[in-house]
Chains A and B, each alone.
Chain A
Amino acid sequence: DAKTTQPNSMESNEEEPVHLPCNHSTISGTDYIHWYRQLPSQGPEYVIHGLTSNVNNRMASLAIAEDRKSSTLILHRATLRDAAVYYCILRDGGSGTYKYIFGTGTRLKVLA
């Protein structure tokens, strides 16, 4: 299974943009990049996913490097409610497997 590497923790000021990096140097051509976040004592929730092109939705943007070995989740204006653990996950698109491999993620702290 391809693995991802994320910083253990990051801090941001409220109302400022946040860039959460993820390295996935062993990514295969059929792996989709997914991001989930988990608020304290809750289940994870979907944020965004992509394959090759940059993606935008109401929650965030996903910037994918041209060689796909890294990606960045962008929160355009951090709020206190965005304080959570953010997981970058690769999911195999080629074999139709089920697995999400959750690492330890990045704990984002938002300062008021």
Chain B
Amino acid sequence: DGGITQSPKYLFRKEGQNVTLSCEQNLNHDAMYWYRQDPGQGLRLIYYSQIVNDFQKGDIAEGYSVSREKKESFPLTVTSAQKNPTAFYLCASSARLAGPYNEQFFGPGTRLTVL
């Protein structure tokens, strides 16, 4: 089955610690994205990548970092610089970045809680 996997589903971290969220896709998609969702809110774009070894900041990149060393993987690190990291994190992919009709496929999400 093709799709996007995110792990872990739930993650707890102590304040001041960095934590890395995993995102893997086997859809052979070029573009990948990370979003953050707070309770009762829509999704906000953190980072996106259109090809391997390339990525750009989204609207709320401060306190986050990413890497894209492989086409199928786009891990997100939440650093201690992120002031309010408790949220639901969603990874998505699409066949390519550009184009107005590219369907984005989303993973099941990781719920991060800072204790």
Using CB atoms and an 8 Å cutoff, list the residues of chain B in contact with chain A: 4, 31, 33, 35, 40-45, 48, 50, 88, 90-92, 97-101, 103-109, 111
Which of A45, A49, A98, A104 interacts with B41 by CB under 8 Å? A104
Known pairs A49-B101, A98-B97; A41 contacts B109 (CB<8 A): yes
Contact B42 A87 (CB under 8 A): yes
Interface size class of A (residues with CB under 8 A): 20 to 34
Pull 27 A–B residue pairs with CB atoms less than 8 Å apart, ordered by A.
Answer: A32-B100, A41-B88, A42-B106, A42-B108, A42-B109, A43-B90, A43-B91, A43-B106, A43-B108, A44-B106, A45-B106, A46-B103, A46-B105, A91-B101, A96-B98, A96-B99, A97-B98, A98-B31, A98-B33, A98-B48, A98-B97, A99-B45, A100-B45, A102-B43, A103-B42, A104-B41, A105-B42
B103 to chain A: which residues have CB within 8 Å?
Answer: 46, 49
Complex-state Cα separation, A104 to B48, whole angstroms: 21
Contact B98 A43 (CB under 8 A): no
